[in-house]
Amino acid sequence: MIRVAVTGAAGRMGKANIEAIQMAEGIELGAAIVEPGSTLLGADAGEVAGVGKLGVAMVGSLADAVADFDVLIDFTAPEVTLKNVEFCAANGKQVVIGTTGLTDEQKAVLQEQSTKTAIVFAPNMSVGVNLCFKLLEVAAKALGNDDYDIEVIEAHHRHKVDSPSGTALRMGEVVADALGRDLNECAVYGREGQTGARPRGEIGFETIRAGDVVGDHTVLFATEGERIEITHKASNRLTFAKGAVRACKWLEGKSTGLFDMQDVLELR
């Protein structure tokens, strides 16, 4: 039985992760971590998540639960995630990371820590989204470099703090890599004013933040006479949580390395 710790356990994704763990076989909730000053310290994690009493009390740090888990699921914030990864690497714990908004420098830290423990890091844990990444690679290579304008459109709930989403950026990276481009050089984030005719080679990003949208992503390939759209829409956070649980199981037996959901789903 794989014992999993969930950090940010009282948040939207934390509760979804606990629910997904309870739905899966061969895996169990070993620990639930909340902020040190939370009023939920000591509360039953299952009752907070709405899945019934589990006998796992909320604690205020990974150190308080170091003996209770084998792998950590982390959907928090970049700075918190890096501290948690450092702790896990020092204590022989594996990590599944769904946190978005990491800088290139922060991603390099994950690469360094992966020499000490096994990590699955993905901007989106959804099986469907990761299938879309593969479809985007195929589409970009087939459509070629010259004729099609490319736009990435994403929508999320009003509380999301990073923009564009990590998933949208990854979609752009997949397309750019397939076309032999550097996304840092060809990305355009929104347009305003007299921008002139669109030049060839751009990959545009448009962001919507509104209401309670869980996550919508569309990549548009458009040319004279036709448009092709590859779209994924998430209607429930459980889709991400189920992917994270799948990643926890996939990590079993792996001691080091930095992986993503393409590895977990054997899409490479």
What is the predicted pLDDT for the residue at 146? 80
What is the predicted pLDDT for the residue at 224? 94
Q: What is the pLDDT of residues 132-141, one digit of tens each?
A: 999 999 999 9
Q: Residue 214 contacts by C-beta under 8 Å, 6 or more apart in sequence?
A: 156, 157, 234, 235, 236, 237
Q: Which CATH number characterizes residue 138's domain?
A: 3.30.360.10
What is the predicted pLDDT for the residue at 144? 85
Query: Which residue range is the domain that position 62 belongs to?
Result: 2-121+237-264
User: Can you name the residues that pair with 104 across neighbouring β-strands?
Assistant: none
Same domain assignment for residues 116 and 10: yes
Same domain assignment for residues 111 and 66: yes
Which positions are annotated as active-site residues? 156, 160
What is the predicted pLDDT for the residue at 73? 98
Residue 9 to residue 2: CA distance in whole angstroms: 18
Same domain assignment for residues 114 and 13: yes
When computed from its CA atoms, the radius of gyration of the chain, rounded to whole angstroms, is 20
Same domain assignment for residues 136 and 112: no
Q: Of the candidates 68, 110, 62, 117, which has an alpha carbon nearest to the alpha carbon of residue 92?
A: 117
Same domain assignment for residues 71 and 17: yes
Same domain assignment for residues 19 and 90: yes
Same domain assignment for residues 17 and 117: yes
Q: Of the candidates 133, 104, 93, which has an alpha carbon nearest to the alpha carbon of residue 262?
A: 133
What is the predicted pLDDT for the residue at 184? 95
Give the residue ranges of the chain where pLDDT is below 50: none
Same domain assignment for residues 117 and 246: yes
What is the predicted pLDDT for the residue at 101? 87
Measured over the CA atoms of residue 189, residue 193, residue 195 and residue 198, the dihedral's sign is positive
Q: Which CATH number characterizes residue 16's domain?
A: 3.40.50.720
Q: How many domains does the chain have?
A: 2
What is the predicted pLDDT for the residue at 145? 80
Q: Are 13 and 237 in contact (CB under 8 A)?
A: yes
Which residue bears the tokens 């390395």? 257
Same domain assignment for residues 15 and 106: yes
What is the predicted pLDDT for the residue at 228? 97
Q: What is the pLDDT of residues 23-52, one digit of tens each?
A: 999 999 999 999 999 999 999 999 999 999
pTM assigned to the model: 0.83
